[in-house]
Amino acid sequence: MQRSTTHMKGSSADNKIMFKTTKRALLLLAGCTIFGGLGSAQDPAAYSGWMKAVNPSVRAANAAIAAKDNAAVATEANKLAVVFDQVLGYWKSKGADDAIKLATTARDAAKTLAAATDSDAQTASLKTLQGTCGQCHSAHRESVGPGQFNIK
């Protein structure tokens, strides 16, 4: 009985050390993720992630407009505004004026959509937002295989 208690104590101390080490590793990992996120203004992999988030949000916003669910419209629109703000940052870092303009239009349309409460205004700003996709893609998106794109 005594032995097993001692043993338990020992192992709980070990666990503590393990926990500390794990915690440190996690902090390190979180740090990398945060810095990775901040440093991603010019990262093509991050760019692809932003773009992949666009269609699901556009679809969800459309459905929410149809359902007259303004809170959900605003939620999706705010997500789109964040995405296109990141896209804008990318193109600013590249100094590509046409893309900067399109990304600004997209971001601002998303912000207008987030604030709009009647379905006509919502539909109009979503349309403005969707008007930017094709223009930017034909100028700056290069197809390199099925479903694979590069930035040009």
User: Which residue, among 14, 11, 10, has the nearest Cα to 22 in the 3D structure?
Assistant: 14
Rank residues 58 and 74 by Cβ distance to ligand HEC and give the closer one: 58
The only residue of 7, 52, 59, 127 in contact with ligand HEC, by rule CB under 6 A? 52
Rank residues 15 and 150 by Cβ distance to ligand HEC and give the closer one: 150
Q: Which amino acid, 11?
A: S
Q: CA distances (Å), 77 to each of 19, 65, 85, in order?
A: 40, 11, 12
Least CB distance to ligand HEC at residue 36 (A): 16
- Among the candidate windows 18-26, 29-37, 49-57, 117-125, which touches ligand HEC by CB under 6 A? 49-57
| Binding of ligand HEC by 62 (CB under 6 A) | no
Give the chain's largest Cα–Cα span. 76
| Binding of ligand HEC by 46 (CB under 6 A) | no
The only residue of 40, 41, 48, 62 in contact with ligand HEC, by rule CB under 6 A? 48
Q: Residues for the chain: how many in total? A: 152
User: Which residue, among 142, 50, 44, 136, has the nearest Cα to 93 in the 3D structure?
Assistant: 44
Considering only residues 7 through 26, tell me which ones interact with ligand HEC, judged by CB under 6 A.
none
Cα separation, 80 vs 61, in Å, equals 10
Least CB distance to ligand HEC at residue 87 (A): 5
User: Which residue, among 53, 52, 70, has the nearest Cα to 61 in the 3D structure?
Assistant: 70
Residues that bind ligand HEC (CB under 6 A): 47-48, 51-52, 54-55, 58, 87, 91, 99, 102-103, 106, 129-130, 132-133, 136-137, 140-141, 147, 149, 151
